[in-house]
């Protein structure tokens, strides 16, 4: 897209887009200054309503946001402009904010508009409309208009990358692809990158990580990105689960395997967040780790009842090879904390069906040993429509992971408290770090949306982490 801010250009080829909050009387000015009134029964700005009309040879699209819209609702409404109304667009559009439009609504509106050109049709012979050359004129009476627009562009760019990483098929999105993507991103945004694999990973004690990837022809990649800012006062560590495809291993899945390309939603979230934090030059130090593996089945696949080592020095009894995400996260968390010693640690993972059973597809399950960190993550998520809710991590649940033969087992084998016991397993590898949080995003990272006929990536976590970090500055 070619963005123009507060230009005087006007053309019959423009599609004028004007968002409105719900109210009794809707009116706007035509290009010749004439006031146009729209009667209530026709359009009143109700949430997710659209009205197209022709005024003085211009096509105008009115977008309804509702009475008191949330961030995600506004984002989705504006995203539909390009995604669902592309047939109205010729050469350019004009996004026009009415007088008195709330400043808090500007960012999600802009982000949503810029997200509208994302589609899943990567491999179709005939793809949908490409808006790379579209002129987007933004009329915004705000002293920081240019800064607001640039920020929204960078947020949408990171979210689209997070969408794409989840949505690409697993024969393309492999551990190697994810590692190459991270290295390329590091070069673009002046980050330090390191990829650990093979004998180097074994030498560093990443045995649990390597065990999960043993059954795949695709070599596991332990991805590390470092972002450092000269004015940083805190250091945040992120770990994202990067299982690029999950068959369940020898405890093979019996249903839903078609969607298991999404099992790296945590990786997409932390990588997208790292991109936007670096792009916006947020004054924080950040270390991001993504253990990237494919959990496959062959003669070398790790076995149920196997005892494997880990970076933290704990032996692990493998009860279920489909509880693989917590194994790679265990090494990721331990390596991050021991090597980089961040002030706060957050991991994100599409970890358990139990989280979905508890919260459905509305929010992430949140676990933390730091009440302040937990509250900050909840508040940040509410602000951007990426909600989470806490569950307990009492020590009583840790006993469920006791093993007779090893230090800990990776699954308790019971149809209860699955998300909680998984969190307790992870906590055992945090070296008693005083400020750690785990977000189980199984129900929210890959979902049914208004923008595809199938489940697709949501970029859940990108906005949450950005908001969380900025709230602490």
Mean pLDDT over each residue of the chain, to the nearest integer: 95
Catalytic status, residue 204: no
Residue 295: per-residue pLDDT: 98
Angle at 196 between CA 193 and CA 200, to 5 degrees: 140
The secondary structure element, H or E, covering residue 18 is strand 14-20
- Cβ–Cβ contacts within 10 Å for residue 392, how many? 11
For the segment 26-36, the average pLDDT, to the nearest whole number, is: 88
Catalytic status, residue 253: yes
Residue 320 has pLDDT above 90, yes or no: yes
Residue 129: per-residue pLDDT: 78
CA distance 445 to 461: 8
Paired tokens of 48: 């997710």
Residue 399 has pLDDT above 90, yes or no: yes
DSSP state of 308: E
Contact 128, 121 (CB under 8 A): yes
> pLDDT tens digits, residue range 38-88?
988 899 999 999 999 998 888 999 999 999 999 999 999 999 999 999 999
> pLDDT tens digits, residue range 115-146?
999 999 999 998 887 888 899 999 988 889 99
Task: Kindly give the pairing relationship between strand 408-409 and strand 316-317.
Answer: parallel
Paired tokens of 44: 């009143």
For the segment 89-114, the average pLDDT, to the nearest whole number, is: 92
Residue 376: per-residue pLDDT: 98
Q: Which of 160, 326, 409, 424 is catalytic?
A: 326
For the segment 9-33, the average pLDDT, to the nearest whole number, is: 85
DSSP states along 42-70: T----TT-EEEEEETTEEEEEEE--SS--
Q: Which of 4, 47, 202, 253 is catalytic?
A: 253
Residue 198 has pLDDT above 90, yes or no: yes
Residue 127: per-residue pLDDT: 86
Give the model's confidence band at 6: pLDDT under 50 very low, under 70 low, under 90 confident, else very high. Answer: confident
> pLDDT tens digits, residue range 286-305?
999 999 999 999 999 999 99
> pLDDT tens digits, residue range 235-264?
999 999 999 999 999 999 999 899 999 999
Give the model's confidence band at 11: pLDDT under 50 very low, under 70 low, under 90 confident, else very high. Answer: low
CA trace torsion 276, 280, 281, 287 (10° rounding): -10
> pLDDT tens digits, residue range 418-441?
999 999 999 999 999 999 999 999
Residue 12: per-residue pLDDT: 66
Residue 10 has pLDDT above 70, yes or no: no
pTM (2 d.p.): 0.96
| Beta-carbon-side half-sphere exposure of residue 458 (alpha carbons within 13 Å) | 28
> pLDDT tens digits, residue range 168-184?
999 999 999 999 999 99
Angle at 348 between CA 347 and CA 352, to 5 degrees: 120
């Amino acid at each position: 897209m070619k963005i123009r801010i507060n230009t005087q250009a006007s053309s019959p080829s423009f599609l004028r887009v004007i968002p409105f909050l719900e109210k009794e009387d809707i009116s706007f000015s035509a290009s010749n200054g004439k006031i146009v009134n729209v009667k209530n029964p026709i359009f009143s700005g109700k949430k997710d309503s659209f009205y197209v009309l022709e005024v003085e040879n211009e096509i105008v699209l009115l977008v309804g946001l509702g009475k008191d819209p949330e961030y995600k609702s506004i984002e989705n409404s504006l995203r539909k402009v390009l995604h669902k109304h592309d047939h109205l667009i010729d050469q350019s559009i004009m996004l026009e904010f009415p007088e008195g439009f709330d400043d808090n609504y500007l960012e999600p509106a802009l982000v949503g508009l810029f997200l509208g050109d994302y589609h899943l049709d990567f491999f179709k012979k005939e793809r949908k409309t490409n808006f790379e050359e579209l002129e987007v004129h933004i009329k915004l009476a705000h002293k920081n208009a240019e800064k607001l627009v640039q920020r929204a562009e960078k947020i949408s760019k990171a979210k689209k990358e997070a969408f794409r990483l989840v949505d690409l098929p697993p024969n393309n999105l492999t551990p190697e692809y994810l590692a190459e993507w991270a290295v390329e991103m590091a070069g673009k945004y002046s980050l330090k990158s390191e990829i650990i694999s093979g004998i180097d990973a074994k030498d560093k004690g990443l045995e649990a990580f390597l065990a999960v990837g043993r059954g795949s022809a695709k070599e596991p990649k332990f991805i590390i990105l470092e972002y450092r800012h000269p004015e940083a006062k805190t250091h945040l560590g992120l770990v994202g689960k990067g299982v690029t495809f999950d068959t369940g291993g020898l405890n093979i899945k019996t249903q839903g395997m078609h969607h298991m390309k999404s099992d790296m939603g945590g990786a997409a979230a932390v990588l997208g967040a790292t991109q936007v934090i670096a792009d916006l030059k947020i004054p924080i130090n950040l270390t991001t780790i993504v253990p990237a593996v494919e959990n496959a089945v062959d003669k070398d696949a790790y076995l149920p009842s196997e005892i494997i080592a880990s970076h933290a020095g704990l032996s692990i009894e493998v009860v279920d090879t489909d509880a693989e995400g917590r194994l790679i996260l265990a090494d990721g968390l331990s390596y991050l904390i021991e090597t980089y010693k961040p002030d706060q640690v957050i991991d994100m993972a599409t970890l358990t069906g139990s989280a979905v059973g508890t919260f459905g597809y509305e929010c992430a399950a949140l676990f933390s040993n730091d009440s302040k960190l937990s509250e900050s993550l909840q508040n940040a998520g509410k602000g951007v429509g990426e909600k989470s809710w806490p569950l307990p991590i009492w020590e009583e649940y840790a006993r469920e992971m006791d093993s007779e033969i090893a230090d800990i087992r990776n699954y308790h084998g019971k149809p209860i408290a699955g998300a909680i016991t998984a969190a307790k397993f992870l906590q055992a590898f945090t070296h008693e770090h005083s400020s750690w949080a785990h977000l189980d995003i199984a129900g929210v990272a890959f979902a049914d949306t208004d923008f595809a006929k199938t489940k697709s990536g949501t970029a859940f976590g990108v906005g949450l982490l950005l908001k969380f970090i900025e709230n602490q500055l």
